[in-house]
Amino acid sequence: MSKLSLERILQSQGFGTRKWCSQLIEEGEVSVDGKVIRDSRCVVETEGLEFSVYEEQWIYRALVYIALNKPANFECSRRASHHPGVLTLLPEQFNLRDVQPVGRLDHDTTGLLLLSDDGAFIHQQSSPKHHVPKLYHATTAEPVTPELVDYLLKGVKLHDEPAPLAAISCERVATHQLAIVLEQGKYHQVKRMLAAAGNHCTALCRTQIGNLRLEALCLEPGEWCYLEAAQLALLTTAAKL
């Protein structure tokens, strides 16, 4: 159980500075359990709290965990330069509460991207020590041969990498498509591994992290959802092709 003043609650949820939040409340724009509250210092229990701001409904979340179906032509970096940033696909509140992508996908890579404002979670998910397997579907310029699959499984030596990098698993899905599971998350890893193997990646989609499948989330490109405890638990289990 934890109680906070309504102005602090709004601030923690990304609605702006404390002063701005207090103004919103005093102007009658905030309701709790369907009742307008105009006293910004009013103390409220945060657990299970549902509130509305400008008639939009919100649930209090101490920390947020988000899955986005990233479309092409969005950048994961905070200071996006050539394309809009992925945060522009989310409500403004998430930006203000410092939600960040967990790792990065290239601007032209699509699929499952996690975002959060929980620093420990971001670190745990992106740390190489934690070996979170990720499944990608890659479309290739040249046909996928058994030799290519073999090569990716045995390990590919990439420039600037001391040891060869191997796929955890790799399967041909169609003449020009393969499914590949990687644990390391090095810069442009799938594309560089395919290039080093004499092929070329023409499209890339991340379809699974741990056992959390993009398909199960039913998100159209550009759509997002909160991840709840059961879905977060899937992130720590080994990915199956």
Q: Which residues are catalytic?
A: 106
Indicate the residue among 49 and 135 with the shorter CB distance to ligand URA: 135
Residue from 13, 100, 109, 116 touching ligand URA (CB under 6 A): that is 109
191 is a contact residue toward ligand URA (CB under 6 A): yes
Task: Round to whole Å and give the CA distance between 213 and 240.
Answer: 10
- What are the φ and ψ backbone dihedral angles of 34, each rounded to 5 degrees? 80, 0
Indicate the residue among 16 and 221 with the shorter CB distance to ligand URA: 221
Structure tokens at 163: 């040891």
Indicate the residue among 11 and 109 with the shorter CB distance to ligand URA: 109
151: helix, coil or strand?
A: helix
125 is a contact residue toward ligand URA (CB under 6 A): no
Residue from 61, 83, 172, 188 touching ligand URA (CB under 6 A): that is 188
190 is a contact residue toward ligand URA (CB under 6 A): yes
Residue from 6, 105, 113, 144 touching ligand URA (CB under 6 A): that is 105
116 is a contact residue toward ligand URA (CB under 6 A): no
Taking the complex as a whole, the smallest distance from the CB of residue 103 to ligand URA amounts, in Å, to 8
CA distances from 220 to 70, 81, 209, 213 (A): 9, 25, 17, 13
Binding-site size for ligand URA (CB under 6 A) equals 8
Beta strands in the chain (DSSP E): 3-5, 30-32, 35-36, 43-45, 50-53, 56-59, 65-70, 100-101, 110-116, 134-140, 169-174, 177-182, 201-209, 212-213, 224-226
Contact 220, 69 (CB under 8 A): yes
Question: What are the beta bridge partners of residue 101?
Answer: 115
Taking the complex as a whole, the smallest distance from the CB of residue 215 to ligand URA amounts, in Å, to 18
Task: Round to whole Å and give the CA distance between 164 and 206.
Answer: 22
106 is a contact residue toward ligand URA (CB under 6 A): yes
Candidates 56-64, 151-159, 169-177, 185-193; binding stretch for ligand URA (CB under 6 A): 185-193
CA distances from 108 to 73, 174, 205 (A): 5, 21, 9
171 is a contact residue toward ligand URA (CB under 6 A): no
Contact positions vs ligand URA (CB under 6 A): 105-106, 109, 188-191, 204
